Structure 1
Amino acid sequence: MDRTQDSAAAGFQGHLGAGDSPALLVIDVCRAYLDPESPLSDTSGRFEAARASASRVVDAAREAGVPVLFTQVVLQPGLADAGWFAKKVPSLKVFEVGNPLGEFPVDGPAPLPGEIVVAKQYASGFFGTSLASTLRALGIDTPYVFGFSTSGCVRATALDALQHGFRPQVIADASGDREEATHDQNLFDLNAKYADVVSEAEVLSRFEALAAQKENR
């Protein structure tokens, strides 16, 4: 019995399915994970591959009229508002106000004028922010969650999305982590318990259908 079968036998591996009103949650896709001089970057190109996938997904969502929301870690000088998180992860210093590593990638994805950017200090995009209220006001039932990193802020945001009554869909290709095993294990666990894990191809296909419907109205 493989791990998926074993997990299903234990009562996991249910399927949430996507609802009728999607939105993208682009989680912390920023230069800190892509610049080789940053302590958060990787040497395998995994973050860059995820960034490229994220850009394609964002482009397709905009074409289909699907709302795109971004999160961005913003910390005050000296990490004054990072609490014990800063003690645990000293490299959070890259997110201090004014540090260019905290900015969006030059090659995208990056917010357009009018798109929502949620500033946060901790892992989840929902913790201490107005994100849940914003999604509800927009009528969103299905947030597509992706970005950096899979085991950290993507996971925390997807878990909180479920706990706030949404149907989270985590886009595997558009999420990145430093280690392949860490990325894969967290996706497996998310899919087993808290979200549906989907591919870039699946999402692009859905958004292409939505774009076609939009044109035919």
Structure 2
Amino acid sequence: MSGPHGTAFSGRVGWGARPAVLVVDLVRAYTDEGGPFLLPEPRPAVEATAALVDAARLGGHPVVWTVVRYTRGMADGGLFAAKVPALAAFAEDAEGGWGELVLAPAPGEPVVAKQYASAFFATSLAATLHAAGVDTVVVAGVSTSGCIRASATDALGHGFRPQVVRQACADRTPELHEQNLRDLDAKYADVVDLPEALRHLGR
């Protein structure tokens, strides 16, 4: 890496022998008209994620999904719900079905319910992946600056090799998406393009 920090950043963690695809919070709240977190152009990320999921299934690799879910009245929302009031759309008694997944998990694919940004925080995800022998987590979903960033960072902290797929993530603006990808690639994950991810999942 050029610049004042020289080679201090942007090393590679690379791919291990056993990847899994992690689809983070790809629910209707981000993709459907009227959704509280509607993204400007969600369809390309949805299509890229679908391609990753198909490749993982064909290659015999695990696929794990996450959703955000709160109890009635948001008692388990903590300060995150105070910071982001629109999260109330994911309460059990909320109307609109905004927490429904856009793509359908196959039978036997775990769906992890979480209350905070990271897919790993206070969930069984790390144990599930370790038990399956997974060493590489291919991250897709929404949003790049929030749950993708937090999940990729925590994947690294749990000893996995995070691979964030550029085309399979999206955010509120293209600038926010790209800024966070640059920072993730510098410090916490390898940001890869869809063709590279598909090649590795096809092995």
Q: Which residue number in structure 1 is paired with residue 90 of structure 2?
A: 95
Q: Which residue number in structure 2 is paired with residue 54 of structure 1?
A: 49
Q: For 2:79, which of 43, 61, 84 is the aligned residue?
A: 84
Distance in 2, matches of 1:203 and 1:171, equals: 7
TM-score (structure 1 length as normaliser): 0.89
The structure in which a higher percent of residues are helix is 1
Aligned with 1:143: secondary structure? Answer: strand
Distance in 2, matches of 1:116 and 1:23, equals: 12
TM-superposed CA distance for 1:174, in Å, is 0.3
**1:114 maps onto 2:108 in alignment:** yes
Q: For 1:17, which of 14, 17, 27 is the aligned residue?
A: 14
Unaligned runs of 5+ in 2: none
Distance in 1, matches of 2:185 and 2:69, equals: 29
**1:167 maps onto 2:161 in alignment:** yes
Q: What do residues 16-49 of structure 1 show as CA deviations (whole Å, max 9, x unaligned)?
A: 110001001100001010111112002x31x221
Q: Look up the equivalent residue of 1:71 and give its one-letter code.
A: T
CA contact (8 A) 1:119 1:129 kept: yes
Q: What do residues 150-174 of structure 1 show as CA deviations (whole Å, max 9, x unaligned)?
A: 0000000000000111111111100
TM-superposed CA distance for 1:82, in Å, is 0.6
Q: Which residue number in structure 2 is paired with residue 194 of structure 1?
A: 188
CA contact (8 A) 2:19 2:201 kept: no
Distance in 2, matches of 1:206 and 1:166, equals: 16
Aligned with 1:5: secondary structure? Answer: coil
Q: Which residue number in structure 2 is paired with residue 144 of structure 1?
A: 138
TM-superposed CA distance for 1:93, in Å, is 1.3
**1:124 maps onto 2:121 in alignment:** no
Aligned length: 201
CA contact (8 A) 1:7 1:13 kept: no
Q: Which residue number in structure 2 is paired with residue 213 of structure 1?
A: none
Q: Which residue number in structure 2 is paired with residue 179 of structure 1?
A: 173
TM-superposed CA distance for 1:7, in Å, is 6.9
Coordinate RMSD, CA, aligned: 1.3
Q: What do residues 122-149 of structure 1 show as CA deviations (whole Å, max 9, x unaligned)?
A: 0000000111111110111001011010
Aligned with 2:80: secondary structure? Answer: helix
TM-score (structure 2 length as normaliser): 0.95
**1:35 maps onto 2:35 in alignment:** no
Q: Which residue number in structure 2 is paired with residue 154 of structure 1?
A: 148
Aligned with 2:87: secondary structure? Answer: helix
TM-superposed CA distance for 1:6, in Å, is 2.1
Q: Look up the equivalent residue of 1:155 and give its one-letter code.
A: R
Q: Which runs of 4+ in 1 moved over 3 A?
A: none
Q: Which residue number in structure 2 is paired with residue 135 of structure 1?
A: 129
Distance in 1, matches of 2:79 and 2:118, equals: 15
TM-superposed CA distance for 1:94, in Å, is 1.4
